[in-house]
Amino acid sequence: MIKIDQEKCIGCGACVEDCFTRDLVIEADKAKVLNKTCIKCGHCIAICPVNAVSISDYDMSEVKEYEAASFDIEPENLLNFIKFRRSVRQFTDQPIEKEKLEAIIEAGRFTPTGGNRQPVSFVVVQDQLSELTGLALESLNNLGKVLLADREKTPPLIAYYAERWLQMYEGYLANPQKTTDLFFNAQAVVIIVSESPIDGGLAASSMELMTHAQGLGMFYSGFFVRAAANSEKIRRFLGIEETNKQVIACQVMGYPKVSYQRTVPRKKPVVSWR
């Protein structure tokens, strides 16, 4: 529930003007909460010039006052940072510190979600990475057999992947301890779960930037997302009980064993200016 400290409130109306759901009004020269349509987005907290607003459901100690020195990023630096990031699949054996994983999750937690529903959760796999590898390769092996059984209708690239999945699973069964082309030598796998592909994807994007900002490398495993979509065993392993939730993204990460020297080219953007 939104609370407004009436002694602090100066009745400026800034929170009323910024409330998208129109759940705030000015009465007797003070801001008042109707608490009918509020989605607890926190805009009223962020905009209040006298810090008179709070939300009882949230930890208000997390709120930080704006400081340009620690909050602002030069646009050119941000764009270069985005251009320079690469998908990393070569990792060292150095473990990832827990505080860095927590910061990555924090970046996902504070990413905007539709209607502020915050329907995104996270699963971090480290100690049981070998078990998850086996479950994923088993699922991909089963899927690969289905795709190759009707090869004429399977696109060439998908058929290539299907054959590769069968080979990966065969190699895993022969030596479960050997590094595979699923997670390589990753030190952690972070899985983003949500009922909303958009909300989950946006969270994953923020988390990716935080991963690279901390000197870590990562890549998105589309293989695992496909494996999870076809395996109840994986869902049980991850603790996904709600039928409306799915694995949106899988981030495979570790300290990079490779050093890139420059950005890469991309196709020109397709843009319509109206």
Distance, CA of 241 to CA of 37 (rounded, Å): 29
- All structural domains of the chain with their residue ranges: 2-62, 83-260
Closest to 132 in 3D by CA, of 90, 172, 98, 166: 172
Q: Judge whether 154 and 238 are in contact, CB under 8 Å.
A: no
Q: Judge whether 171 and 237 are in contact, CB under 8 Å.
A: no
User: Tokens 């994807």 belong to which residue?
Assistant: 201
Question: Hey, which residues does 84 pair with through a beta bridge?
Answer: none
Q: Which residues contact 129 (CB under 8 A, 6 or more apart)?
A: 183, 186, 188, 189
Closest to 105 in 3D by CA, of 248, 215, 210: 210
Residue 219: its H or E element: strand 217-220
Distance of CA 112 to the CA centre of its chain: 11
pLDDT in tens, 97-135: 999 999 999 999 999 999 999 999 999 999 999 999 999
**pLDDT the model gives residue 140:** 98
pLDDT in tens, 170-193: 999 999 999 999 999 999 999 999
Top CATH class of 2-62 equals alpha beta
Which superfamily does 83-260 belong to? NADH Oxidase (3.40.109.10)
Distance, CA of 192 to CA of 214 (rounded, Å): 19
Question: Hey, which residues does 55 pair with through a beta bridge?
Answer: 2
Q: Judge whether 253 and 187 are in contact, CB under 8 Å.
A: yes
Distance, CA of 191 to CA of 180 (rounded, Å): 18
| Tokens standing for residue 98 | 């827990």
**Quick check: 150 pLDDT over 90?**
no
**Quick check: 151 pLDDT over 90?**
no
pTM of the model: 0.94
| Strands 217-220 and 53-55, bridge-based pairing | unpaired
Closest to 141 in 3D by CA, of 252, 227, 237: 227
Neighbouring CB atoms inside 10 A of 67's CB total: 8
